Amino acid sequence: MAGSRPKDSESTTGRLWWRDGVVYQIYPRSFQDSSGDGIGDLEGIRRRLDHLEWLGVDAIWLSPCFPSPMADFGYDVSDYCDIDPMFGSLDDFDRLLADAHGRGIRILLDWVPCHTSDQHPWFQEARKDKESDKRDWFFFRDAKPDGSLPNNWLSIFGGPAWEWDEEAGQYYLHSFLKEQPDLNWRSPGLVSAMHGVLRFWLDRGVDGFRIDVIHRLLKHPELRDLPVIPGREGHGYGGLEHVHDENHPDVHASLRDLRKVIDEYDERMTVGEVYVTDPNITKDYYGKGDELNLAFNFALVHAPFDAARIGDEIARFDALVPAEGWPDIVLSSHDAPRHASRFDHPRFGDDRARLAAMLLLTARGTPFLYYGEEIGMRQIPIPEDRLQDPLAWTLHPNASRDGSRTPMQWEPVAGGGFSEGDPWLPMGDSERRCVADQREDPASLLWLYKNLLTLRRASPALMSGSFRRLEAPEGVFAFERLHPEQRAVVALNFGEDPITLDLGGGAPIGGLTTTYGAFLPPDLSSVELTEASGLVALTGASSGA
Is residue 140 close enough to count as binding ligand NOJ by CB under 6 A?
no
Nearest distance from residue 534's CB to ligand NOJ, in Å?
Answer: 29
Residue in 92, 212, 313, 402 binding ligand NOJ, rule: CB under 6 A: 212
Is residue 118 close enough to count as binding ligand NOJ by CB under 6 A?
no
| Per-residue interface string for the shown chain with ligand NOJ, residues 508-527, x marking contact by CB under 6 A | --------------------
Determine the angle formed by the axes of helices 188-204 and 90-102, rounding to 10 degrees.
50
Is residue 295 close enough to count as binding ligand NOJ by CB under 6 A?
no
Determine the angle formed by the axes of helices 351-362 and 445-458, rounding to 10 degrees.
20
Nearest distance from residue 170's CB to ligand NOJ, in Å?
Answer: 23
Is residue 158 close enough to count as binding ligand NOJ by CB under 6 A?
no
Is residue 176 close enough to count as binding ligand NOJ by CB under 6 A?
yes
Q: Which is nearer to ligand NOJ, 285 or 449 (CB)?
A: 285
Is residue 213 close enough to count as binding ligand NOJ by CB under 6 A?
yes
Which candidate in 212, 291, 389, 531 is catalytic? 212
Is residue 389 close enough to count as binding ligand NOJ by CB under 6 A?
no
* Positions in 264-293 near ligand NOJ (CB under 6 A): 273
Q: How far apart are CA 525 and CA 505, in angstroms?
A: 4
Nearest distance from residue 190's CB to ligand NOJ, in Å?
Answer: 17
Residues with Cβ within 8 Å of residue 276, at least 6 apart in sequence: 215, 246, 247, 282, 298
Per the annotation, the verdict on 264 as an active-site residue is yes
CA 467 to chain centre: 22
Nearest distance from residue 340's CB to ligand NOJ, in Å?
Answer: 20
Is residue 179 close enough to count as binding ligand NOJ by CB under 6 A?
no
Is residue 72 close enough to count as binding ligand NOJ by CB under 6 A?
yes
Q: How far apart are CA 95 and CA 90, in angstroms?
A: 9
CA 488 to chain centre: 26
User: Whose CB is nearest to ligand NOJ?
Assistant: 75
Q: Which is nearer to ligand NOJ, 37 or 335 (CB)?
A: 335
What strand order describes the sheet that includes 59-62? 294-295, 269-272, 208-211, 106-111, 59-62, 23-26, 366-370, 328-330
Q: Which is nearer to ligand NOJ, 120 or 456 (CB)?
A: 120
Phi, psi of 216 (to 5 degrees): -115, 15
Nearest distance from residue 312's CB to ligand NOJ, in Å?
Answer: 25
Apex 252 CA angle, 239 and 26, nearest 5? 75
Q: Are 455 and 432 in contact (CB under 8 A)?
A: no
Is residue 94 close enough to count as binding ligand NOJ by CB under 6 A?
no
Q: Which is nearer to ligand NOJ, 207 or 389 (CB)?
A: 389
| Residue 87 CB coordination number (10 Å) | 26
Nearest to 362 by CA among 283, 464, 445: 464
CA 80 to chain centre: 20
Q: Which is nearer to ligand NOJ, 245 or 480 (CB)?
A: 245
Cα Rg of the chain (Å, integer): 24
Strand 170-173 to 140-141 pairing:
antiparallel
Nearest distance from residue 70's CB to ligand NOJ, in Å?
Answer: 12
Q: Which is nearer to ligand NOJ, 107 or 492 (CB)?
A: 107
Per the annotation, the verdict on 335 as an active-site residue is no
Nearest distance from residue 16's CB to ligand NOJ, in Å?
Answer: 26
Is residue 108 close enough to count as binding ligand NOJ by CB under 6 A?
no
Phi, psi of 108 (to 5 degrees): -105, 135
Q: Which is nearer to ligand NOJ, 213 or 359 (CB)?
A: 213
Q: How long a stretch of residues is the chain?
A: 545
Nearest distance from residue 339's CB to ligand NOJ, in Å?
Answer: 16
Number of residues in contact with ligand NOJ, rule: CB under 6 A? 9
Q: Which is nearer to ligand NOJ, 83 or 112 (CB)?
A: 112
* Positions in 330-349 near ligand NOJ (CB under 6 A): 334-335
Which candidate in 263, 264, 324, 485 is catalytic? 264
Nearest to 489 by CA among 540, 449, 448, 528: 540
Nearest distance from residue 404's CB to ligand NOJ, in Å?
Answer: 11
Nearest to 331 by CA among 364, 307, 296: 296
Q: How far apart are CA 367 and CA 61, in angstroms?
A: 12
Nearest distance from residue 498's CB to ligand NOJ, in Å?
Answer: 39
Nearest to 141 by CA among 172, 111, 107, 114: 172
Is residue 245 close enough to count as binding ligand NOJ by CB under 6 A?
no
Is residue 53 exposed (0-12), middle (13-18) or buried (19+ Cβ within 10 Å)?
A: middle
Q: How far apart are CA 375 and CA 352, in angstroms?
A: 13
Is residue 111 close enough to count as binding ligand NOJ by CB under 6 A?
no
Q: Which is nearer to ligand NOJ, 217 or 538 (CB)?
A: 217
SS3 content of the chain, % helix, strand, coil (to 5): 30, 15, 50
Q: Which is nearer to ligand NOJ, 72 or 118 (CB)?
A: 72
> DSSP string spanning 394-459?
HT-GGG--GGGSPPP--SSSGGGGT-SS--SS----TTTS-HHHHHT-TTSHHHHHHHHHHHHHH-
Residues with Cβ within 8 Å of residue 503, at least 6 apart in sequence: 470, 478, 489, 491, 524, 525, 527, 537, 544
Binding residues vs ligand NOJ (CB under 6 A): 72, 75, 112, 176, 212-213, 273, 334-335
Catalytic residue numbers read 212, 264
